[in-house]
Homo-oligomer: A and B are copies of this chain.
């Protein structure tokens, strides 16, 4: 986020009560265009769950995005905002049959799957639909790994492809997710090699022409630890596609990506306040800095310190190492204890604190009223 944008957000928030989240829609537009520029071959299915704010969804609707939808509640929201069902996929591998039926009734015809039981439900509740098969990937190198819960091994994926034909569904493509905030672009190489092998097997052994690759999300936002620019990811991914699909003489017809964090993350700033600065004993080295927002107010991704948000203090002074914690009566509500953040020693109780890159996976996670705190309030800057 540029200095100018940040100043605009600070000014906007000046008279707002803390904690609050401010979303700058321009940043989302810019990120969308950046992905379009660097990955012009990919169709963008925005992962609504990253930031489901109406204004964000409406902007991406107007920009021409498609949408990766996790639940019937998200579907209802998108329909309310006038998104056509042919711009959606039901992208959650865990779904009730009645919810599949609901998606089908509303016109959605693209479904992910990773298990025979789920495929069975799709065949009954969404007959004739396109299905894509999610591969289990390892997520090594990802700050927020998605390693074991989703996807199947290739052996099972092959069975699912054959089953889908028997069930009268359209076996359409293969998906994987390299892990959210994936900093090792090599993960796409590993996954694409497996995907290409499945395309080949499907054609040669099952007489099925797969058409689509869904590369999931994984493109990073700007947290404390640096990542390659999106241009570098794109260049590498294109090379991996060339190499892996050489046997077909071309890339698959349709390539989908499901960015969430990389689109919304940088657009948000959480404005918080220092509630207390305290030591546990007189000579303790690291003071505890308590903010008025914590894990249950929207910063749950600080669990195990997985996501390290850049934190900006206005005050001047010598940098001192601190422990940062949230305001609830729960000792799990500590943000950073191992990764050492610093704070200028002139910072004081009552100062505002700006937590950057908090546009994704924050507000929608916040608890309804743990310790009585209301959910994080969000404002949208247009």
A interface with B by C-beta (< 8 Å): 47-49, 52, 70-77, 91-97, 114-118, 121, 136, 139, 144-153, 155-156, 159, 273, 275-282, 288, 290, 292, 296, 303, 325, 327-334, 337, 349-350, 363-375
**Contact between chains at B331 and A150 (CB < 8 Å):** yes
**Contact between chains at B114 and A49 (CB < 8 Å):** no
Q: Known contacts being A329-B91, A366-B367, is A372 close to B280, with CB within 8 Å? A: no
Report A95 CB to chain B, min CB distance, Å: 7
**Cα distance, A296 to B151, chains bound together (Å):** 21
Residue of A92, A144, A329 most packed against chain B (CB within 10 A): A329
Residues in B whose Cβ lies below 8 Å from that of A296:
365
Mind listing 11 A-B residue pairs with CB under 8 Å? A70-B372, A91-B329, A96-B273, A115-B278, A117-B349, A148-B280, A149-B288, A149-B325, A151-B280, A303-B332, A364-B371
**Cα distance, A77 to B373, chains bound together (Å):** 12
Q: Known contacts being A156-B281, A349-B117, A374-B73, is A52 close to B369, with CB within 8 Å? A: yes
Q: Known contacts being A48-B372, A148-B331, A292-B96, is A115 close to B279, with CB within 8 Å? A: yes
Residues in B whose Cβ lies below 8 Å from that of A94:
275-276, 290, 325, 327-328
Q: Known contacts being A49-B329, A115-B276, A149-B334, is A364 close to B375, with CB within 8 Å? A: no
**Contact between chains at B73 and A372 (CB < 8 Å):** yes
Residues in B whose Cβ lies below 8 Å from that of A156:
279-282
Q: Please tell me which one of the listed residues B76, B282, B331, B367 contacts residue A146 in the complex, with CB atoms under 8 A apart.
A: B331
**Cα distance, A44 to B251, chains bound together (Å):** 69
Residues in B whose Cβ lies below 8 Å from that of A159:
282
Residues in B whose Cβ lies below 8 Å from that of A275:
94-96
Residues in B whose Cβ lies below 8 Å from that of A328:
49, 70, 92, 94
**Cα distance, A167 to B245, chains bound together (Å):** 76
Report A337 CB to chain B, min CB distance, Å: 8
**Contact between chains at A118 and B276 (CB < 8 Å):** yes
Number of copies: 2
Report A97 CB to chain B, min CB distance, Å: 8
Q: Please tell me which one of the listed residues B70, B95, B281 contacts residue A153 in the complex, with CB atoms under 8 A apart.
A: B281
Report A218 CB to chain B, min CB distance, Å: 13
**Cα distance, A378 to B49, chains bound together (Å):** 24
Residues in B whose Cβ lies below 8 Å from that of A75:
372
**A92 to chain B: closest residue by CB:** B329
**Contact between chains at B331 and A117 (CB < 8 Å):** no
Q: Please tell me which one of the listed residues B48, B72, B276, B370 contacts residue A117 in the complex, with CB atoms under 8 A apart.
A: B276
Residues in B whose Cβ lies below 8 Å from that of A74:
371-372
**Contact between chains at A370 and B374 (CB < 8 Å):** no
**A154 to chain B: closest residue by CB:** B281
Residues in B whose Cβ lies below 8 Å from that of A152:
279-281
**Cα distance, A276 to B202, chains bound together (Å):** 26
Can you add 18 more A-B contacts, CB < 8 Å, to A73-B369, A94-B290, A151-B280? A52-B372, A71-B371, A73-B371, A73-B374, A74-B371, A92-B371, A93-B276, A97-B350, A117-B276, A136-B280, A149-B333, A152-B280, A153-B281, A156-B281, A364-B369, A366-B368, A367-B367, A368-B375
**Cα distance, A121 to B349, chains bound together (Å):** 10
**Cα distance, A152 to B268, chains bound together (Å):** 35
